[in-house]
Structure 1
Amino acid sequence: MNSDRERLAGLAAALGAFCIWGLAPLYFKLLGHVRADEIIAHRVIWSMIFLGVVLVARERGRLVSKVRVDTRVLAALLLSAVLIAVNWLVFVYAINTNRVLSTSLGYFINPLVNVLLGMVIFRERLGRLQTIAVVLAFAGTAWMTIRVGQLPWIALALAFSFALYGVVRKKTDVGPLVGLFWETLLMTPLAVLWLLWLDRGDELVFDFGSAGEASLLAGTGLVTLVPLVLFAMGVRRLNLSTIGLMQYLAPSMTFVLAVFLFGEPFTPDHAVTFACIWTALALFTIAGWRDYRHARLPTRGAT
């Protein structure tokens, strides 16, 4: 009974995380009049503040020892901070310039980029279905490039920045909350300086006198923190195959928002590209499910 409750709690937490990520464009659309660089500066600062509060409340007397990292880990977190900052900036820029569909494409491509990087960086061998999936993803991207006349750079920037971020964090021995705290802490001085620069040029939108606007900008920290905490809760309670399938929920929701709510054009060229990506993801998922089932089979002759 307890295991069923744990799994149900994990499903609810993971579902909450992916729904928040999928509906995030609705939140950032409310800040469409604010420059993307100012939004990201606020996101960095408020994420660091909220994370600090969470860590203080959770760790209390163990806080210093909990967040202490050595210089090698700190250097890796500096790199991951740059990668996640690029990801956030491109994401918000895409929303502010009415290219939400590109963000959906980027996060659909992301798992396939993970497979590609696993092959290149970790020398992982691809099965037949995974190889076909990568080729299909490349074909879909090439089709859009040829037909539109330019690379779908927003989608590719989101996919590769987040995939590389995952690689760096995979090789860095630090927990998700502590890691994000250090990433935002390392970025905070630059974020503060950037806001001061905008204020000096009279380009800063943030104003404590405007409670609604100030709350929305401060809330970007919660939009960052809450799904991360929920995701961590889900990962602890669910197997990775379930998480792997649920990860497609967020870009699916973003796709629906882009096409049916924001009215972004979905052309035949988009249809070809998305069809290639979706087929590739289906093959990738089938291959992953086969590997998972094979790994669970008892070894022949085991006692």
Structure 2
Amino acid sequence: MTESNRGLLLALFAYSIWGSFAVFFSLLKHIPATEVLLHRIIWSFIFVAIILTLTRHWARAKSALLNRRLVLALFCSSLLIGANWCLYIWAVSVNRAVEASLGYFISPLIAICLGVIFFKESLAVYQKVAIFLAACGVGFKIIGIGEFPWISLSLAISFGLYGLIRKKTQVDTVTGLMLETILLLPFAAVYWVWLLIQGEQHFSMSLDGLLLILAGVLTALPLLAFSAAAHRLSLTLLGVMTYLAPTLQLLSAVLILGEPFDKGDFVTFSLIWLSLLIFSGGAIWRRRRTPESIV
């Protein structure tokens, strides 16, 4: 098997796990989202700690912890990704996974806007058209349906800001996740102790306990797979595959979880999909003019 094919399989594995999150977290909808989040943090930390021990990469994590500016940046990113995780878990628990999936469709376009604001990046014509169409989609949901898509926008903005901070930090994916979970670990541990004292925690040697542990594993595992895939695939292919996860989340929300998808949703999503088609097509055309190698 060639390296590019191995990278493709790793990327498909990562995006398939992310795409299954709507179904997975629906199995935990009877547990408060904040409690699911605390277990996601704790078991992610334990799983990544095992990986770092097996690969003998703890020195990299320890070195990063000594960098105060890096720790501060990752503390901010950890709060953003923690809020993002919690909101998504809650959205699934209240049968709003369709709206949550919309947030991850919008996220790449939010990232472009943040690049313009913080890095003074210039927009190509196709990017301006894509953002305009996405804004029309959001505007239709607000005006045409009379509903402000706060879940979608909150997920997109929090994830966009998270990506912005991580872009400015010189740390690899695994080490970054380890530091983020370490920084969130005290909050998660205190909350778990409080739940134990109150007698309100749901973790036990049961299916719920297994699923809560699995929530942490499924947080770290696709990141590891994606990191390995990124070294083997072109950015163009990875960029197109980005939309696989929210597509699977949307399909599973409608076809498996039975959430409604009416004409208003169809118009909103159609405008978003058209904007992403223009965005991806323009990016592919642009990269073909500047050939990039596949590692």
Output one character per residue of 1:124-160: Cα deviation in whole Å (capped at 9) or x when no partner.
1111111011011111111111233332111111111
Gapped regions of structure 1 (runs ≥ 5): 298-303
Equivalent in the alignment of 1:250: 245
SS in 2 for 1:148: coil
1:259 paired with 2:257, answer no
Alpha-carbon distance, 1:287 to partner: 1.1
Distance in 1 of aligned mates of 2:60 and 2:212: 31
| 1:61-115 residue CA offsets vs partner (Å, 9 max, x unmatched) | x523443220000000000000000110011001111111012111111111111
Q: Which residue matches 1:138?
A: 135
Q: Is the 8 A contact 1:67 1:178 kept in 2?
A: no
Higher Cα Rg: structure 1 or 2?
Answer: 1
What pairs up with 1:3-152 in 2 under 5 angstroms?
5-59=2-56, 63-69=58-64, 70-152=67-149
CA distance in 2 between partners of 1:65 and 1:187 (Å): 19
TM-superposed deviation, 1:199: 2.3
Letter in 2 for 1:77: L
State the aligned residue count. Answer: 290
Match of 1:230 in 2: 225
In 2, the alpha carbon distance for the partners of 1:242 and 1:145 equals: 33
CA RMSD, aligned part only? 1.3
1:204 and 2:201 correspond:
yes
In the alignment, structure 2 segments of 5+ residues that lack a partner are none
The aligned amino acid for 1:187 is L
* Within-5 A mapping of 1:178-197: 178-197=175-194
Shift of 1:193: 0.9
Q: Which residue of 2 aligns with 1:301?
A: none
SS in 2 for 1:237: coil
Q: Percent identity?
A: 38
| Amino acid corresponding to residue 33 of structure 2 in structure 1 | A
What TM-score comes out, normalization by structure 1 length? Answer: 0.93
Q: Secondary structure at the match of 1:206?
A: coil
Q: TM-score, normalised by structure 2?
A: 0.95
- Cα deviation 1:174-205 (Å, max 9, x = unaligned): 11101110100010110111112222222211
Shift, 1:167, TM fit: 0.6
